[in-house]
Amino acid sequence: MNSTASTEGQRTLDGTARTFLAESLMVPAGLITMVILTRRLGTDGYGLFTLAAAAVAWVEWTIATLFARATYKCVAETTDWQPVGTIVLRLHLAVGVIGAVLVIAMAGPLATLWGEPTLAAYLRWLALDIPLFSLAAAHRNILVGTGAFRPRAWLGAARWTARAALVAAFVGLSGSIYGAIVACIGASALELAVARRFIRPSLLGRSGFPVRRLWETALPLFLCAASLRLFEKLDLFMLKWLGASAAQAGLYGAAQNLTLVVGIFAGSFTPLLLSTLTRLLRDSHPKHARLMGRDAMRLVLLLLPLAGLCAGAAGEVVRLIAGAKFAGAGPLLTVLIFEAVAGALMSVANGILTAAGRARWTFAVTGPMVPLAALAHWWIIPRYGPLGAACVTTAVTVLGALAALVAVWRLWRVAPPVASVLRAAVLCAVAFGFAVAWPTPGVLVVVKLAVGSLLVLLGYLILGEFSRREIMLAWSLVPGMKPGAVDEKRYWEQVGAEWQQSQTDRLWRAHSDAVNRAWLEAWWPQRKVERVLKTDMFDETVGEGVFEVLKSRARFAVGMDIALATKPQVAADVRQPPFAKGVFDLIVSNSTLDHFQTEEELVASLRELRRSLRPGGELLLTLDNAANPIVAIRNILPFALLRRLGLTPYQVGVTCGPWKLRRLLRETGFEVAEMSALLHCPRLFAVKRARAVEQSGDATRREAFLKGLMKWERLARWPTRWWTGYFVAIRAVRSHAPQ
């Protein structure tokens, strides 16, 4: 990916993380709110407030999403956002006032429909929040469109913090539903005030931006958003309409609220994705936009094991958060958590369609969901109650997500990788079984969820789901772990000079050199070698190395290195060696190619080494062995952390295990003749022990220590050699053409 696309991707990931963390305050804020409301209002009072809040929230979020994606797209496509911002602000205010008037007018009929006369007053008072919420939403959308992701995150933090504090104050003191209503209105007013500190679109200023252009994009997206908002609460509304009690509605609402974490992620990620994809397409980077879209869908699917973990512990989670009287929400949460993941996937796919200029397709995907779900609810709810409603909602959402994936495939020919889907499905089943098999009463369920989440992450790492680039990108979000730009030549000059000056780990380097010499002697070609190349001279800088062996066995030996501090005969980069085609009979590359940041660089080096070999020439190659658990763990940690812990003195890079290395060699035009594993001693402890022996100054002890270390190399004959060997070693012959 070029620098522009890479920067946009980094901004999107950083913005998503910040927005997610800010919006994740919904979880503690929501839990605090839920605990206060359930305990102060009881099941009936909580059920009434849930119905009123759900109805008003549906109106608010429908208005917020009416122009949301159109705003992201139109603002991202222009360099002057003020004209667009003025139109957006006016439309939000106008539609917000209309929405409030409609809710006030419909409060009585809705209360009658649901058989709760007292609900009308709550709806009328809560409707006053709609205009304030709409104006705050306009500011959020404009911020996302301009790429101001961090201020957008601050708005989310302000909203949820204020809501929790105000609910605690007003409901805690009054113990009434009206206190909760005042808290909601106050939180929206505070968010709007904070938003005006970051960005100030003019409400009364002139705007030359054509409203029609916004409507052309907004109308199909509005229909899509309205359908989704209606669908999101359709199960709760129909459940109450078809005879459920307020207590049953409260249980169902509690289960829905506990799935909000996934919704937070989708709400944090999709707007930023849409803005970034629009920018990439605007700047003529369609290939990178497609790759980002594919990885976005893949990222959502990778949440499946976490959903399985939550489903297995649903009953315990509900009892911990809402209390034993809400235990009936457990089975509902088990089903609805998967609906939340499917909904997030559909949201991301619809964002891709919007960025690609296919806004109308989004309504084609979501529009049929409402009538389909309504018919299914009408038939299922009288027979199976709340659990039937949850199953219907989940099934219809899954169908909608599949339809959205098909639409993206037709448009861009991209889809989540099959291997990722299979890994997610397997880990989902494992996580669910883990949660069910480990009963955890009370707060211990938090420990179970934490342990299960770590096991899921470990499972993905073991199964090879994440590339090194993705792992390092994730670590870059941690303060102090982001790698800076590195001048590789200067860096290795500095490393070589420091090692020459410090003279550290000489005994350990002697063992490493002995292992490499034994490897060369065992695999040295039987025929005469005229010209041999060694691809770096670091070993010769910090120890004896093996170059003297090459000089004694070949007629002409060349030592190459990117750093002049190693005193190479040729100062060059192995990715761009300055040699003619077919000049060498043998190339020795011991742990040179495992210091690059990408697999593409490793492959490019292999191609260049093949080019430098004559037909039939041989490559003796070692790389850090990714099949070794120690190397695998090292590769998921950032260099900054490894260096602080004293585990890695210099930068390491992408590498692979024996089977992947064999495949890469075949693809670049080599035939693999032999494979083995080197350096089997426990390296971390051996290095520390070597320092102690070296400091003792006892030559006899030193010699005995080196002999003891060499005995570990007998493990190279064991079936477990790929797990114990620190390096994978391969002898490969240049073939006539890549396979």
Cα atoms found within 13 Å of the Cα of residue 190, Cβ hemisphere only: 19
Q: Whole-angstrom Cα distance, residue 313 to residue 266? A: 22
Cα atoms found within 13 Å of the Cα of residue 464, Cβ hemisphere only: 9
3-state secondary structure of 178: helix
Structure-token pair, residue 464: 């090879």
pLDDT attached to residue 468: 72
Give the list of residues 6+ apart from residue 48 with CB closer than 8 angstroms, or none: 41, 116, 118, 119, 122, 177, 246
Residue 218 phi, psi dihedral angles, 5° rounding = -75, -35
pLDDT attached to residue 51: 84
Residue 213 burial (CB count, 10 A): 14
DSSP assignment letter at 397 = H
Q: Whole-angstrom Cα distance, residue 626 to residue 656? A: 5
pLDDT attached to residue 716: 93
Q: Is the dihedral of CA 729, 735, 737, 739 positive or negative?
A: negative
Q: Whole-angstrom Cα distance, residue 708 to residue 510? A: 13
Q: Judge whether 74 and 217 are in contact, CB under 8 Å.
A: yes
Residue linked to tokens 């302000």: 158
Q: Judge whether 654 and 598 are in contact, CB under 8 Å.
A: yes
Give the list of residues 6+ apart from residue 171 with CB closer than 8 angstroms, or none: 36, 37, 40, 41, 179, 180, 183
DSSP for 410-450, please give it.
HHH-----HHHHHHHHHHHHHHHHHHHHS---TTHHHHHHH
Q: Whole-angstrom Cα distance, residue 582 to residue 577? A: 12
Residue 703 burial (CB count, 10 A): 11
3-state secondary structure of 617: strand
Angle, CA of 383, 385 and 390, to the nearest 5°: 115
> Cβ-count burial of 692 within 10 angstroms (0-12 exposed, 13-18 middle, 19+ buried)?
exposed
DSSP for 477-528, please give it.
TSTT-PPPP--HHHHHHHHHHHHHHH-TTHHHHHHHHHHHHHHHHHH--SS-
pLDDT attached to residue 379: 94
Q: Judge whether 543 and 510 are in contact, CB under 8 Å.
A: yes
Sheet with strand 727-734: strands edge to edge: 570-571, 556-561, 531-534, 584-590, 613-624, 727-734, 670-678
Divide the 739 residues of the chain into consecutive groups of 10 and give the mean pLDDT of each group. 50 61 66 76 79 86 78 79 84 92 92 86 92 91 82 81 85 80 89 89 76 73 79 87 83 85 73 74 81 90 94 92 85 95 93 86 92 94 92 96 96 93 96 95 91 91 78 66 62 70 79 94 89 91 88 91 76 89 94 87 93 94 91 78 70 86 93 94 88 86 92 93 94 78
Give the list of residues 6+ apart from residue 15 with CB closer than 8 angstroms, or none: 149, 150, 152, 153, 272
- Domain at 488-734, CATH from 3.30.1050.10, 3.40.50.150, 3.30.1360.30, 3.90.1530.10: 3.40.50.150
Q: Whole-angstrom Cα distance, residue 499 to residue 315? A: 58
Q: Judge whether 99 and 63 are in contact, CB under 8 Å.
A: yes
Q: Whole-angstrom Cα distance, residue 52 to residue 188? A: 17
Q: Whole-angstrom Cα distance, residue 739 to residue 736? A: 9
Q: Which helix (H) or strand (E) holds 620?
A: strand 613-624
Structure-token pair, residue 159: 């909203």
Residue 258 phi, psi dihedral angles, 5° rounding = -75, -5
Q: Whole-angstrom Cα distance, residue 349 to residue 344? A: 9
Q: Where are the beta strands (DSSP E) in 325-381?
A: none
pLDDT attached to residue 4: 47
Residue in 423, 279, 265 with CA at minimum distance from that of residue 348: 265
Q: Judge whether 309 and 453 are in contact, CB under 8 Å.
A: yes
Q: List the domain boundaries for the chain.
A: 1-209, 223-466, 488-734
Residue in 622, 636, 648, 618 with CA at minimum distance from that of residue 716: 622
Q: Judge whether 149 and 19 are in contact, CB under 8 Å.
A: yes
**Helix axis angle, 26-66 relative to 149-174, nearest 10°?**
120
Q: Whole-angstrom Cα distance, residue 635 to residue 48? A: 53
Q: Whole-angstrom Cα distance, residue 391 to residue 549? A: 71
Residue 541 phi, psi dihedral angles, 5° rounding = -80, -40
CA-CA-CA-CA dihedral for 535, 540, 541, 542, to nearest 10: 120
Say how many residues make up the chain.
Answer: 739
Q: Judge whether 726 and 625 are in contact, CB under 8 Å.
A: yes
